[in-house]
Structure 1
Amino acid sequence: IDRNYFLLTRKIKSRKASLFLYPLIVSIFFNFKRIIRNKFLTISHGYSCPFYKNDLLIAHGNMKCYFETINQTEIKNFSGSGITAFYEKCSGRLSKKIWAVSKKVMQEWVDLYSVNTNKICVVRNYINIDKFNQLGPANSKEIIFVGRLEKGKGISELIDICTTLSGYTFHFVSSIAPTAELYELSNVKISIGVSYESMPDIFKNAKVLILPSKYEGFELVTVESLCCGTPVVGYNVGAIRELSTENYCGVFMVNNKDDMISKIEYIMSLPDREYHNLRMNIYNNRDVFSDVCYMELLKKEFRCGN
């Protein structure tokens, strides 16, 4: 149920008021349906239904951890982020079962929201690998970034990286407009609002995907890039953290901006044959992200918390 389902939330113009009221209305709605003995299964995402015993809650991240990681300050209870974090905490406490998209996210909900470990397990994101099935050329020269051009995604570090590596071509794909400072960089191409259907070509034609994000849950851009055979360089967050720990081919986890610059230069300087072999190894291991593997994971984890 999205915000347009209810007349009241369609009328509210204030974003903060909508953020406050929408989860309350959804909770009341489902509690009422339960009282009149309607039978249904409730699958909720994050904070959207905090005062109802959801059958399943899917945790894509953790607002408290996200806010405090990005801003390096404690979250304020009555801010928009504070309200979201409170609703997430309530959702986690009341929901019968929780699927977290990564081990890190699972631990965040346990540590920060005091969620019972017996009812939370890890079920990662997956993609339709039939759509992301294009293996790119070995002589590609483009370095790509895919994501929102904002603080949490490491925009300041992106600018520094592009400035330092002025001899390379960068392509930023985003849903929001960049800062004026990014527009001034002559080695950066920017694409806004690229359709999902066009993304396989973006990944296929890239030499490497970079991700200087400060926080991620289990970001799909990493998975989509790998499924096209394109290596990924990023910090100790999200899918990069999980896959690097498992020694997944083509995932290069770095500690800081200087390490990222060095790793980018290393990948860009690989001989064509060596780089081609790297892409082939990445591509040939992509079945782990398929819907078939996802369904097997669901069968295995569905009983957690029972």
Structure 2
Amino acid sequence: MSKETVTILHPFSAEAIGLSFSDVLTSHSKPHKSALKSLQSAGYTVKVMYLYYGLFPKSRFVNGIIHKFWPVISLNFKKKNKWRKESSWLHYYSNFFNPNDLTIINMSGRLSPYTIKIARLLTLKNKPYIAMIGGLSIATGPKALDYYKGAKHIIVHTKKQKESLLQLDGFKTLDVRVIPLGIDTSTFKPKKKDRSSKSLLYVGRISRLKQIELAIDALHYCKNRGVDCKLKIIGPFSDKHYFDELREKIRVLKLQHNTEFIGPVPYSQLVEHYQNASLLLLPSQHESFGMVAVEAMACGTPVAAITGSGGPDEIITHNVDGFLTTKQNYASLVYEVINNLSNYSEVSSNCRATVLKKYSEEVTSQLIYKSVKHALSNG
């Protein structure tokens, strides 16, 4: 006898979040898809759903999971906040006539009109949904509160997110659960490092909020003190104006031969970059979780992040399995780590241990399984 159908809905298109169609098939939301595969092994029917720009619904079967794509209707053609303007009437009517038994809605805490609309329909159809929140910003208006109150429970990825949420009016009595984003630790694993090679790495979007200029400043600080090191910058160019500013800064500081913009790389190729790096630089102003930090740590590569940025504060214990510092002291910390830190090998080993204990796919899958069981119960 087949069990219920569980769907993770991403109510936005790949383009709206700066990804390609291939990205959402192969690398986006990997911890959640891994958890779905575990649910599938337990007898559930599982699907992943996205919106996309096309005329007809289409499906792809990738890594054992059905990916369903629903045509977008959007009356707003501006790139800014594009993800908040998208909707799909075909997806809506599919849920009207044949809703899934449980829908996990993965959306920014700022929500979108369509997210609220589909949640109302599921409630009308007596089908439960779970609100999974990405990002740090939370909508708190009447419609948003109704959405969150209507969910079986809310999933966030860090304890700090949960604490912040429960301080808001209207959220204090809600069921908020922390499920970290785990990774495949059999793929992300260490290899022996060449300590004589000083290699800095940044992985993420080229966006002003990521404060990549701090990474460039750190490189310049190290070079001025006689450390021969290089900085590789991996990720899509989501802000061309900011990208041009960074290139000009590199030119002015004469770092052209020490800096390489690689652009986006396939997910499968990230492992080698993490393994070869001496240090991952994560100078972001805000990080709701910090997936790249966990990936790097699993490869034995320590992370240097900004205190108070969010997820990294929870993931990293300073000078034990990584490094936290202020924006003002970021460059000097990076210099200390790659130049003369005596306990680098110990920190590198602790990185891996932390991920195995707290941030593996197995941990995430177990917690999502409990979440699904609760949501489908009558309690």
Take 2:309 and 2:80, find their aligned partners in 1: how far apart are those partners? 28
User: Structure 2: which amino acid aligns with 1:43?
Assistant: I
Report if the CA contact (8 A) 1:138-1:276 is conserved.
no
Sequence identity (%)? 20
Which range moved further: 16-25 or 116-125?
A: 16-25
Structure with bigger helix share is: 1
Take 1:253 and 1:217, find their aligned partners in 2: how far apart are those partners? 16
Take 1:238 and 1:136, find their aligned partners in 2: how far apart are those partners? 30
* Residues 1:117 and 1:255: Cα distance change in structure 2 (over 3 Å): farther
Report if the CA contact (8 A) 2:321-2:354 is conserved.
no
* Partner-residue secondary structure (3-state), 1:269: helix
* Residues 1:114 and 1:62: Cα distance change in structure 2 (over 3 Å): farther
* Residues 1:114 and 1:216: Cα distance change in structure 2 (over 3 Å): farther
Which range moved further: 217-226 or 177-186?
A: 177-186
Take 2:76 and 2:290, find their aligned partners in 1: how far apart are those partners? 31
* Residues 1:284 and 1:23: Cα distance change in structure 2 (over 3 Å): same
Shift of 1:56: 0.8
* Residues 1:89 and 1:104: Cα distance change in structure 2 (over 3 Å): farther
Which residue matches 1:100? 156
Which residue matches 2:73? 9
TM-align CA RMSD: 3.4
* Partner-residue secondary structure (3-state), 2:316: helix
Which residue matches 1:40? 101
Which residue matches 1:173? 234
Take 1:37 and 1:196, find their aligned partners in 2: how far apart are those partners? 34
Report if the CA contact (8 A) 2:218-2:334 is conserved.
no
User: Structure 2: which amino acid aligns with 1:174?
Assistant: G
Shift of 1:232: 0.7
Matched, 1:211 2:274: no
* Residues 1:38 and 1:262: Cα distance change in structure 2 (over 3 Å): closer
Matched, 1:264 2:340: no
Residues 149-298 of structure 1 correspond to what in structure 2 (within 5 A)? 149-166=206-223, 167=227, 168-176=229-237, 178-179=243-244, 180-184=247-251, 185-186=255-256, 187-235=258-306, 236-244=308-316, 249-258=320-329, 260-270=330-340, 274-288=343-357, 289-298=359-368
* Partner-residue secondary structure (3-state), 1:50: helix
Shift of 1:164: 2.3
Take 1:268 and 1:257, find their aligned partners in 2: how far apart are those partners? 18
Deviation per CA, 1:131-184: give whole Å up to 9, x if none: 101334141410111111221001332333233222432111121163232552
Which residue matches 1:75? none
* Partner-residue secondary structure (3-state), 2:340: coil
* Partner-residue secondary structure (3-state), 1:144: strand
Shift of 1:216: 0.7
Report if the CA contact (8 A) 2:218-2:335 is conserved.
no
Matched, 1:120 2:194: no
* Partner-residue secondary structure (3-state), 2:323: strand
Take 1:91 and 1:124, find their aligned partners in 2: how far apart are those partners? 22
Report the TM-score, using the length of structure 1 for normalisation. Answer: 0.77
Q: Which runs of 5+ in 1 are unaligned?
A: 65-81
Could you tell me which of 192, 203, 213 is aligned with 1:146? 203
Take 2:293 and 2:143, find their aligned partners in 1: how far apart are those partners? 28
Shift of 1:285: 3.9
Shift of 1:40: 2.0
User: Structure 2: which amino acid aligns with 1:50?
Assistant: I
Shift of 1:284: 3.7
Report the TM-score, using the length of structure 2 for normalisation. Answer: 0.64
Matched, 1:61 2:135: yes
